[in-house]
Amino acid sequence: MRIHLTSVFVDDQARALRFYTEILGFTKKHDVPLGGTDRWLTVVSPEDPDGTELLLEPAGHPAARTYRDALVADGIPLAQFAVDDVRAEHERLSALGVRFVQDPTEMGPVTTAVLDDTCGNLIQIATQPR
């Protein structure tokens, strides 16, 4: 068994696609209209195009909004992405205008930072020792 797909709830799929591809560097994998304005919209790591997909899922359901908003209010990231060097990625993303709610912080052997994805979520980036 392996993880094939996970999702983040987003306020605006077009804005999310721009952020996750143009800023974070993911690659669009699927973009299938579902009727209305919603789409089955996934991105993947360019380093693993056949790996786990991230669904940029519309946050229209009231339960999704309540859950996501509660996490943000408590400062809890919805997802975590691995990066080779948190400090370098923090610098790169900050230069692109990304707002961080937690600067790089060493937590034992792991270094983390938390950013606002502009679509209603907090996302943690982390570097673990090799």
Note the pLDDT tens digit of each residue in 7-23: 999 999 999 999 999 99
**Which of 10, 43, 22 is CA-nearest to residue 120?**
10
**Could you tell me the residue range of the domain that residue 36 belongs to?**
5-127
Neighbouring C-beta atoms of residue 73, cutoff 10 Å: 8
What CATH number did the domain enclosing 97 receive?
Answer: 3.10.180.10
Helix (H) or strand (E) run with residue 82 in it? strand 79-82
- What pLDDT sits at residue 36? 84
User: pTM of the full predicted structure?
Assistant: 0.93
- What pLDDT sits at residue 86? 97
Residues in the chain with pLDDT values less than 70:
none
**In sequence order, what are the residues at sequence separation of 6 or more whose Cβ sits closer than 8 angstroms to the Cβ of residue 39?**
13, 31, 32, 33
- What pLDDT sits at residue 129? 76
Tell me how many domains the chain contains: 1
